[in-house]
């Protein structure tokens, strides 16, 4: 479900700024709320107070320095931008929000190297992700600083000095890091050494000091627990299925009024997609090469999308039975395909047993504290008198802080773990659920199966939830947003696109970035090809980057055959099976890309390296490197053939390479590699095996037909 959020992470309580929002109405209003990234876009948690003049509404809110998006909510339903905002911006999904930029403390004076001043308010390091992380035998330590504020930063570990390297930056902060090898057998003591001209200061847990005595961070080897992500996810390719619209395999469970396949999509029409249909098409999924299926909700619900849950422990009869679904998961697993379920733990349907009781017994209901009732009698009607997801009366919000609610919900993952072969959970509108619930949810899920995957729906920065105590990953809407602006809209330059991708990658610890659920399309926004105005070449070009960039790419059903679809419900049309065939250029490309990932450790696990960008000719190149294995990806976004040169300095490997898209081979020498790339085209170069059959020939379908 759609919820755009750009959380300002990496802050602390000492950074808090009191900001007053003000709205002057042009008429008398009963209520005005402010909603934004700072309160998870909640329309009912931050009320504004009315001045004696009867028109001016105000609210002071504690905010962190940085960028915040917000709107005013009038009378509970009318969302508007701030008429006095200095700037509004589109979030990439058709929503325009007001922008608030708050400077950190002490930023009034410009920072200049050599000014003998250190902006202490900008400094931050803590012993949790993303500042502190252990991965693949190395301990990564990151310090946040003010840009242009310091001459240099060094890390001192057990008395040995290590130079730090630039990691990433944003409008307000720069992040420097240092990785040190650690066998996790001995304790560590460390601090940061800051130099500003002739001034030298130590930064430790007590802040700035002149010496490290009593001001060092400690790491106890025995008690240290690394942030571990389910290893099977790294490099996996996901396939998202909207259950009612994938395939109707069993007419016997069709609801009354089921429409013929191919009918124009509507949220009021059932197409009859079911368990039998997925099983019928399971060999298609295997042939495509995907590693996991992510199902939109399958539990009993009164509506087609099933995001309003009636019973968490029962498969919707229109989709199948519990036993049939359990058998499907076993069948998919036998084909090498894991199953991930959509969990909606924020709200339920009006016919959920506890809410039914509330409607019947009102104040006397034993379940009245399961929800957020504003006044009685409770009625299911527009602008409801209870909290509901975005004010929709059909989605009453659950009070997950209530012990009985929490107990009921935490039974769900355990129940399905025992009933079926479930390997993970995608958490709907997860940023709206109290974090303490997710911490307990992780304990329940991981204690039963440490390899279970937990991915939360957040449309912006997921840092607050990715510290190792809640989720493993988030849906990659940040990747999608960058792809929209570069490929679909063409409003950003290659250099800006690569910078944005690297910023997102560096926002998280590497094991998180390697399992981000990167997507181009989903059940919420229009399909990506529609955002490209029907230009399938652009959509395919974006898919090349999606399939080769770090993360776990997710294919929305039908995307691989070029299905189109505007806003919901048109993006949820019945799968167009007639498009599946050997002459489908898009399908051929996806098969080759998925097969290439499966054959290349670099494409599954490699670190990204920016190689080249040419803003004038609209080209760029990057590499993925894992040990001695590598892949080079070259992209031409222009409408002309381009000759693109790629430096070998970062690859440091010589020999023959082959393009898995065209089948051409090239010689990678000690200097630059030069190749011609056609308009709106790409090359994905991987090492060839000297004297043997080309490395990918036996594992990748024939050259894509045009």
Residues annotated as catalytic are 428, 457
Torsion of CA 486, 489, 493, 498, to 10 degrees: -10
Closest CA to 593 of 641, 521, 540: 540
How large is the C-alpha radius of gyration of the chain?
26
d(CA 511, CA 130): 11
- In order of 110, 265, 282, 560, the CA distances from 262 in angstroms are 61, 8, 21, 18
3-state DSSP call for residue 480?
helix
Cβ-contact 264, 544 below 8 angstroms: no
The 8-class DSSP code of residue 359 comes to: H
Secondary structure (3-state) at 664: coil
Q: Distance between CA 104 and CA 213 in Å, rounded?
A: 29
What is the Cα–Cα distance from 543 to 487, expressed in whole angstroms?
Answer: 10
Strands 299-300 and 311-315: antiparallel
Three-state DSSP at 684 gives: strand
Phi, psi angle pair for 482, to nearest 5°: -65, -40
Contact (Cβ atoms closer than 8 angstroms) between residue 443 and residue 488: no
Q: How far apart are CA 130 and CA 124, in angstroms?
A: 11
Residue 631: C-alpha distances to residues 66, 195, 519, 681, 699 (Å): 36, 38, 21, 17, 16
**Of all helices (H) and strands (E), which one includes residue 193?**
strand 188-196
CA pair distance 559, 575, nearest whole angstrom: 9
Give the C-alpha distances (Å, rounded to integers) separating 75 from 29, 43, 80, 271, 375: 7, 10, 11, 37, 17
CA-to-CA separations, 617 to 26, 501, 549, 636, in angstroms, rounded: 50, 19, 22, 8
CA-to-CA separations, 436 to 89, 440, 448, in angstroms, rounded: 32, 6, 19
What lies within 8 Å, CB to CB, of 551 at 6+ separation is 476, 479, 513, 514, 515, 516, 517, 518
C-alpha span between 386 and 378 (Å, rounded): 7
| Angle in degrees, CA 538, 542, 545, rounded to 5 | 145
Produce one character per residue of 546-583: b if its CB has 16 or more CB atoms within 10 Å, e if not.
bbbbbbbbbbbbbbbbbbbbeebbebbbbbeeeebeee
Q: Which residues pair with 622 in a beta bridge?
A: 610, 633
Contacts of 3 (CB under 8 A, 6+ apart): 40, 41, 390, 429, 431, 432, 457, 459
CA 214, distance to chain mean position in Å, is 40
List, as one string, the DSSP characters of 219-240.
Answer: E-TTT-------GGGTT--EEE
Is residue 215 helix, strand or coil? coil
């Amino acid at each position: 479900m759609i919820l755009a959020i750009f959380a300002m992470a990496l802050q602390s309580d000492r950074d808090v700024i009191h900001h007053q929002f003000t709205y002057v109405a042009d008429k008398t209003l009963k209520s005005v709320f402010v909603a934004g990234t700072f309160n998870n876009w909640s329309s009912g948690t931050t009320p504004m107070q009315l001045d004696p003049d009867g028109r001016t509404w105000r609210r002071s809110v504690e905010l962190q320095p940085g960028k915040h998006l917000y709107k005013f909510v009038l009378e509970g339903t009318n969302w508007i931008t701030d008429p006095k905002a200095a700037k509004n911006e589109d979030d990439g999904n058709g929503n325009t929000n007001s922008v608030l930029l708050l400077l950190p403390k002490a930023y009034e004076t410009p920072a200049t190297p050599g000014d003998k001043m250190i902006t202490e308010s900008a400094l931050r390091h803590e012993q949790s992700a993303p500042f502190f992380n252990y991965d693949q035998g190395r301990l990564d330590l990151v310090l946040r600083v003010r840009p242009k504020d310091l001459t240099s930063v060094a890390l001192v570990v057990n008395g040995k000095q290590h130079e730090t390297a630039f990691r990433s930056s944003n409008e307000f902060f720069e992040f420097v890091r240092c990785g040190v090898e650690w066998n996790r057998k001995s304790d560590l003591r460390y601090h940061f050494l800051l130099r500003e001209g002739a001034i030298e200061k130590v930064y430790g847990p007590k802040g700035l000091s002149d010496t490290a005595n009593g001001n060092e961070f400690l790491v106890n080897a025995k008690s240290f627990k690394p942030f571990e992500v389910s290893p099977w996810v790294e490099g996996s390719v996901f396939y998202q299925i909207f259950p009612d619209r994938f395939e109707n395999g069993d007419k016997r469970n069709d609801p009354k009024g089921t429409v013929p396949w191919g009918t124009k999509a509507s949220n009021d029409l059932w197409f009859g997609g079911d368990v039998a249909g997925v099983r019928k098409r399971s060999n298609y999924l295997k042939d495509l090469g995907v590693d996991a299926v992510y199902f939109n909700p399958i539990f009993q619900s009164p509506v087609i999308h099933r995001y309003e849950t009636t019973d968490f422990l029962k498969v919707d009869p229109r989709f199948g039975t519990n036993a049939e679904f359990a058998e499907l998961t076993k069948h998919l697993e036998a084909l090498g395909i894991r199953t991930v379920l959509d969990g909606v733990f924020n709200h339920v349907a009006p016919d959920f047993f506890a809410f039914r009781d509330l409607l019947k017994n009102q104040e006397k209901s034993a379940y009245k504290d399961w929800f957020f009732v504003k006044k009685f009698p409770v009625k299911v009607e527009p602008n409801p008198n209870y909290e509901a997801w975005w004010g929709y009366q059909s989605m009453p919000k659950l009070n997950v802080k209530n012990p009985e609610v929490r107990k009921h919900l935490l039974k769900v993952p355990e129940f399905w773990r025992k009933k079926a072969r479930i390997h993970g959970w995608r958490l709907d509108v997860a940023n709206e659920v109290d974090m303490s619930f997710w911490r307990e949810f992780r304990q329940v899920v991981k204690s039963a199966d440490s390899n279970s995957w937990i991915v939360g729906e957040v449309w912006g920065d997921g840092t607050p939830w990715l510290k190792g105590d809640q989720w493993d990953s988030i849906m990659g809407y940040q990747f999608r947003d960058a792809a929209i602006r570069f490929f679909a809209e063409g409003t950003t330059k290659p250099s800006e696109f690569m910078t944005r991708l690297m910023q997102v990658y560096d926002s998280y610890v590497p094991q998180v970035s390697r399992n981000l659920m990167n997507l181009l399309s989903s059940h919420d926004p229009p399909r990506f090809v529609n955002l490209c105005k029907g230009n399938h070449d652009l959509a395919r070009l974006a898919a090349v980057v999606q399939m080769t960039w770090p993360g776990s790419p997710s294919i929305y059903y039908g995307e691989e055959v070029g299905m189109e679809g505007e806003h919901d419900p048109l993006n949820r049309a019945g799968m167009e099976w007639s498009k599946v065939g050997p002459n489908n250029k898009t399908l051929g490309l996806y098969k080759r890309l998925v097969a290439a990932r499966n054959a290349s450790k670099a494409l599954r696990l490699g670190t990204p390296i920016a190689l080249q960008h040419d803003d004038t000719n609209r080209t760029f190149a990057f590499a993925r490197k894992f040990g001695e294995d590598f892949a080079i990806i070259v992209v031409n976004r222009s409408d002309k053939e381009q000759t693109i040169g790629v430096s070998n300095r970062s690859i440091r490997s010589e020999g023959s390479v082959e393009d898995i898209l065209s089948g051409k081979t090239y010689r990678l020498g000690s200097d630059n590699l030069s190749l011609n790339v056609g308009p709106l085209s790409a090359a994905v170069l991987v090492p060839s095996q000297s004297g043997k059959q080309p490395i990918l020939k036996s594992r990748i379908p024939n050259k894509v037909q045009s």
